[in-house]
A and B are shown apart, each in its own frame.
Chain A
Amino acid sequence: MTELIERELEVPCQPEHLWRALTDPRWLESWLADAVDLELRPGGDAHFVVDGQTRDGWVEEVRPPVPGDGPGETGCLTFWWQAQDASPSRVCIELIPAEGGTRIRVVEARPLDVLDLVGLPLPGQGHVGQHRFGPALVAG
């Protein structure tokens, strides 16, 4: 079982313009968290401050949207974050081309502890920044 939250928002703005909102720290700090420090590459470090609380994690996927002749290609930013004394969760933010703009789709999921078997550290064990996670997790 995976605990999962899904939200969608349509905005009248092209995906390629919205990409900055997902990748520019100053943009991110205006909506995602109080402080955002993302190393924008798979496996890169991710640090956040949410409601005065630090969350550490790593970046899983960075895929800018690609404008095309048709609807274009969906872009996505996927990262993991974990507050102290909490279990890690995976956030996937997609920018899906839609008529007249973009459908922003967010999924935050907290997989059961079985994922820790492939290397994502349990709270209090090791550091997320050491990247002790396995390919099975990234593939998921």
Chain B
Amino acid sequence: MRRRLLSEIASHPATATELANDLPITRQAVSKHLTCLARAGLLARERTGRDVRYRVTPAPLSDAMSWMAQVGAEWDDRLARLAGAVDSLDDRPDPSASASA
């Protein structure tokens, strides 16, 4: 049912009442599912007057967040390695010579 709700909302943002009218479950049950989906970050709530309309959270946003987390971690590692390589400069003016040895 949640998958069905998601696909309904993906095609057009809707309120719990509108969804209940289209689906074979009560408005109360719809609300419960929507709360769950919103908590999981899959749906966003928009209040217009007395209505709360749900829309699907844009996927690119979460894609962007995971990209930034991954790329950020990669650079943290790289710069730590670079800092280590620079530290050894004093002892070994040409660390590449030992790397290729």
Q: Flag the segment in A27-35, A58-66, A70-78, A125-133 that touches B.
A: A27-35
Pair B96/A108 contact, Cβ less than 8 Å: no
Given A7-B72, A7-B75, A110-B67: A27 in contact with B85 (beta carbons within 8 A): yes
B residues less than 8 Å from A31 (CB atoms): 78-79, 81-82, 84-85
Residue interface bits B68-85, CB-to-A below 8 A is 1, else 0 = 100110111011011111
Within 8 A of B (CB), among A7-28: 7, 9, 11-13, 17-18, 20-21, 24, 26-27
Taking CB atoms, residues of chain B closer than 8 Å to A21 are 82, 85-86
Which range holds the interface residue count of chain A?
A: 20 to 34
- Are A32 and B78 neighbours in the complex by a CB distance under 8 Å? yes
Q: Which residues of B contact A18 (CB under 8 A)?
A: 86
Count chain A CB atoms within 10 A of each CB in B75, B76, B95 and give the residue with the most: B75
Q: Verify B96–A24 contact, CB threshold 8 A.
A: yes
Tell whether B40 is near chain A: CB-to-CB under 8 Å: no
Binding site for A on B (CB under 8 A): 64, 67-68, 71-72, 74-76, 78-79, 81-86, 89, 95-96, 99-100
**Contacts beyond the supplied A3-B68, A104-B79, A110-B71: 7 A-B pairs with Cβ under 8 Å:** A7-B72, A9-B83, A11-B83, A21-B85, A31-B81, A50-B74, A108-B75
- Which residues of A does B touch, CB under 8 Å? 1, 3-5, 7, 9, 11-13, 17-18, 20-21, 24, 26-27, 29-32, 50, 89, 104, 106, 108, 110
